[in-house]
């Protein structure tokens, strides 16, 4: 795991100091190895390497998660490459080596093959006078591009692009870009597609989902012996805890919230049933004040919903990191795929199966709304985020299900029906099966704490966060120059 940074000067001028600035701003976490590639070779070192003079460079900051994670960029067949992500369909010892072998001698053509695998990835190739970059169709791993008349930059987060004076735009999942001094050529390789509805009974669907989730979780444990899980005692995190334990890894459950949060007791009862260790941690207003700047800098935007969700994610991932864990799992993706939001129940009750299009739209946009935020928070803390519910095979199956296996025509009935049926089949307690959905920013009272902070300054939350973010951005970028 780590961050990719690539930079090109359109006029052939040296950009070595600028690429160094990008890598220095890559993340708040100390890296294990830094690497830099030019058209003539690769340099790696445990600190920032001496930058060669060049007008086209590819850099990487490695945060080692598994012992076999190699220093990057890799150099082969006359080009260099850096990749972030994992291959979930194979037991390859090194995911980076898997990509390198797949690319072979023709990375531009062979890169398209990567999109057909069950992978979470973003990559950049430096070949001759061009950069080639891509990102998987689900969008697990972030990637951004920025350009002006002088520079074109590619990076794993926005802050690296901001560090060289450019605005950062999201690179869309499922696309492939070729970057030359003349500009950026982008084409779509694959997208998440809405499959036709498949007639299936609830019993058969539960059996198939059990198989898919079990495999998705097992694949995300491969090569590690200990993982952390964001845990609320709700249906999503309880199912993941069950499958993680079944996969044979050591599971540490983390439940966080503001003092007085009502979710702690339910999380304790669920953890007791699962017989797994649970760490509960309560925070107060002083903690929110102390940690808010770091959360804003990781999220990279002042959106109230993203910051409200990001704050408890930050607390849980930091706790896991301080405990020595390097892989963090969450139930993110389940609500979009299996109809967890109240708006779906209301639409289904009002207009019927039009909700199928709403669910599909939210699944496709989940990278922008949720995945990128949580990935960057974890990455800044030296943690690797893994999302079993966002496995492409789970997504395809979930999108093919009849809406009636997810939602009831009665909006007062609990949502995510198939997940509750699966939990009941496994043998969960009725309290666990029937626990209602509540958004994390509200169940943890993080949103309430943020709103109270804004009101203490006589501001609305959105304005308060925007002003705070602008100050943090200005301060931290100036510190790095």
Q: What is the pLDDT of residue 403?
A: 96
Q: What is the pLDDT of residue 365?
A: 97
Please name the helix (run of DSSP H) or strand (run of DSSP E) that holds residue 422, with its range, or none. helix 417-426
In this predicted structure, the answer to whether residue 457 has a pLDDT above a threshold of 90 is yes
Domain 2-188 bears CATH identifier 3.60.20.10: yes
Q: Report, as an integer, the average pLDDT of 371-389.
A: 96
Q: Report, as an integer, the average pLDDT of 267-271.
A: 94
Q: Mean pLDDT of all residues in the chain?
A: 93
pTM of the model: 0.95
In this predicted structure, the answer to whether residue 396 has a pLDDT above a threshold of 80 is yes
Percentage of the chain modeled with pLDDT above 70: 97
Band the pLDDT of 91: cuts 50, 70, 90: low
Q: Could you tell me which residue, 134 or 437, shows the higher pLDDT? A: 134
Q: Could you tell me which residue, 54 or 32, shows the higher pLDDT? A: 54
Q: What is the pLDDT of residue 481?
A: 59
Band the pLDDT of 293: cuts 50, 70, 90: very high
Contact 109, 336 (CB under 8 A): no
Using DSSP, state whether 21 is helix, strand or coil. helix
Band the pLDDT of 480: cuts 50, 70, 90: low
Contact 37, 74 (CB under 8 A): no
Contact 188, 182 (CB under 8 A): no
Q: Report, as an integer, the average pLDDT of 281-303.
A: 96
Band the pLDDT of 464: cuts 50, 70, 90: very high
User: To 10 degrees, what angle do helices 446-456 and 461-480 make?
Assistant: 90
Q: Could you tell me the CA-to-CA distances from 205 to 236, 353, 357, 401 in Å, in that order? A: 17, 19, 20, 8
Band the pLDDT of 68: cuts 50, 70, 90: confident
Domain 202-463 bears CATH identifier 3.90.380.10: no
Q: What is the pLDDT of residue 409?
A: 86
Q: Could you tell me the CA-to-CA distances from 179 to 4, 18, 297 in Å, in that order? A: 15, 18, 28
pLDDT digits (tens, 9 = 90+) for 317-367: 999 999 999 999 999 999 999 999 999 999 999 999 999 999 999 999 999
In this predicted structure, the answer to whether residue 73 has a pLDDT above a threshold of 90 is yes
pLDDT digits (tens, 9 = 90+) for 174-202: 999 999 999 999 999 999 999 999 999 99
| Ranges 17-31, 279-293, 402-416, most confident | 279-293
Q: Could you tell me which residue, 105 or 469, shows the higher pLDDT? A: 469
> What distance in Å separates the CA atoms of residue 84 and residue 135, rounded to the nearest whole number?
9
Angle CA(315)–CA(321)–CA(326) in degrees, nearest 5? 125
Band the pLDDT of 440: cuts 50, 70, 90: low
> What distance in Å separates the CA atoms of residue 4 and residue 28, rounded to the nearest whole number?
15
Sequence spans of domains, the chain = 2-188, 202-463
Q: What is the pLDDT of residue 66?
A: 84
């Amino acid at each position: 795991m780590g961050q990719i940074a690539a930079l090109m000067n359109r006029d052939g001028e040296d950009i070595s100091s600028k690429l160094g600035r990008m890598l220095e701003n890559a993340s708040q976490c100390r890296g294990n190895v830094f690497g830099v590639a030019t058209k003539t070779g690769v340099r790696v070192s445990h600190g920032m390497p001496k930058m060669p003079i060049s007008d086209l460079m590819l850099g990487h900051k490695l945060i080692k998660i598994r012992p076999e994670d190699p220093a990057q960029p890799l150099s082969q067949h006359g080009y260099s490459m850096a990749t972030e992500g994992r291959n979930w369909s194979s037991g390859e010892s090194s995911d980076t080596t898997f990509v390198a072998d797949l690319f072979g001698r023709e990375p531009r053509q062979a890169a398209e093959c990567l999109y057909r695998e069950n992978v979470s990835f973003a990559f950049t190739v430096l070949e001759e006078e061009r950069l080639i970059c891509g990102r998987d169709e689900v969008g697990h791993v972030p990637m951004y591009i920025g350009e002006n008349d002088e520079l074109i930059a590619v990076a794993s987060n926005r802050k690296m692009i901001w560090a060289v004076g450019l605005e950062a735009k999201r690179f869309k999942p499922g696309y492939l870009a070729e970057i030359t001094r003349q500009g950026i050529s982008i084409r779509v390789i694959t997208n998440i597609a809405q499959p036709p509805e498949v007639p299936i009974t609830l019993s058969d669907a539960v059996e198939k989902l059990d198989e898919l989730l079990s495999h998705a979780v097992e694949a995300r444990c491969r090569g590690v012996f200990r993982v952390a899980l964001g845990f609320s005692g709700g249906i999503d995190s309880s199912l993941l805890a069950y499958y993680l334990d079944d996969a044979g890894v050591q599971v540490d459950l983390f439940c966080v919230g503001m003092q007085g949060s009502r979710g702690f007791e339910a999380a304790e009862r669920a953890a007791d049933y699962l017989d797994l260790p649970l760490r509960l941690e309560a925070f107060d207003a002083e903690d929110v004040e102390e940690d808010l700047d770091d959360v804003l800098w990781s999220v990279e935007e002042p959106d109230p919903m993203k910051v409200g969700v990001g704050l408890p994610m930050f607390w849980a991932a930091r706790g896991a990191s301080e405990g020595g864990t390097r892989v963090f799992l969450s139930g993110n993706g389940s609500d979009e795929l299996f109809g967890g939001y109240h708006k779906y129940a209301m639409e289904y009750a009002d207009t019927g199966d039009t909700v199928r299009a709403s669910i599909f739209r939210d699944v496709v946009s989940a990278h922008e709304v949720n995945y990128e935020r949580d990935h960057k928070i974890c990455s800044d803390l030296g943690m690797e985020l893994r999302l079993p519910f966002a496995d492409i095979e789970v997504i395809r199956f979930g999108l093919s299900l009849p809406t009636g296996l997810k939602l009831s025509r009665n909006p007062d009935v609990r949502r995510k029906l198939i997940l509750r049926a699966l939990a009941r089949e496994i043998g969960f307690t009725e309290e666990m099966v029937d626990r209602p959905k509540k958004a994390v920013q509200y169940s943890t009272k993080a949103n309430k704490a943020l709103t109270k902070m804004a009101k203490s300054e006589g501001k609305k939350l959105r304005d308060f966060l925007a002003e705070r973010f602008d100050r943090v951005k200005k301060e931290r970028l100036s510190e790095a120059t």
